[in-house]
Amino acid sequence: MPAGTPVQVDTVRVDTLAVTLSAPGRTDVLRYETVRAPFAGTLSSLRVTDGDRVGDGALLGTIVSRSSEAALEGARAMLASARTAEDSADARRALELARSSAVERELRAPAAGVVLSHSAGPGDRVAEGDEILRLAAAGSSVFVADVTQSKISAVRPGQPVRIEMPAVGRTLDGVVRSLLPAAGGQTYSAPVRIDFRMLPGVPSVGLFGTAEITVDRREGVLSVPETAVLTDDVSGVSRVAVATPDGKARWIDVTPGVRDGGRVEVSGPGLAAGDVVIVSGQVGLPGGAPVVVSP
């Protein structure tokens, strides 16, 4: 008898497989907080920079009113131009008075969050109401997935999601919160809000990724490893090779279904739970050929 072909095998099992749809998207922030100048003046200090995390009420910087800054500049100029001891004494008193009466306001964070951008730096003059800082409020980071309109009917709030973001280097868990209004009628996709917990130190806005949304589950189906199913490129017929108890290969035509976690749903005449299917070494193997299971 010829030696059998070495093969590796696995078992047909009854399984529950997740039905998922994939959609690209990016991180965004639902709520922004803006720190503005309370009056016209000069930004005398700024203690934070873009990307810094701040607590509610944290000191961000200080601003001096324009009139106070003018008084200080005048007193400094007087001191610089003093020619006598009496002039210097007068200038120092004027400078002391300008400092003690200066209108200075602390800038504090209106909420905990992450600094996204700043529009002014120390020494810059700002007008009343000018934006100085913009914060992303803590807990308001979301992932917005663009789901094609042909699949959007399957998406429901509460469905679990796995988010892959190359910049993060790991998979994040999330949940569908709601369907958002589309930006316009010309798009073929619909935005879906997915809530998830952003990792510390990761930017809140503009990270691209892919969301795998679990929209259904197939329970009680037969499944095999994906490597067990071979599909003919010409005919489109899919088959699996079963290793029979007498050590031979038997091919069975199957219909593939849901794929999940490296396994695929299959159905076909004569295929049953517990059957041993070949997952490696079956390419080009004729039906009835002897096989030897490798450890």
Q: Which residues pair with 256 in a beta bridge?
A: 266
pLDDT at 1: 46
Domain edge (last residue) among 71, 104, 137? 137
The pTM of the full predicted model, rounded to 2 decimals, is 0.67
Output the six-digit token pair for 205.
Answer: 């806005």
Residues 36 and 109 in one domain: yes
pLDDT at 2: 56
Output the six-digit token pair for 221.
Answer: 């189906």
* Number of folded domains that form the chain: 3
Radius of gyration of the chain (CA): 34
| Residues 6+ positions from 84 with CB-CB distance below 8 Å | none
pLDDT at 204: 67
Which regions of the chain are under pLDDT 50? 1
Residues 225 and 202 in one domain: no
Range of 146's domain?
A: 20-31+139-217
Residues 206 and 228 in one domain: no
Q: Which of 45, 33, 14, 67 is nearest to 221 (CA)?
A: 14
pLDDT at 203: 63
d(CA 236, CA 230): 10
Contact (CB, 8 A) for 119 and 130 = yes
Contact (CB, 8 A) for 161 and 174 = yes
**Strand, helix or coil for residue 197:** coil
Residues 39 and 25 in one domain: no
Instruction: Count Cα atoms within 13 angstroms, Cβ side, for 77.
Output: 6
Provide the CATH number for the domain around residue 155.
2.40.30.170
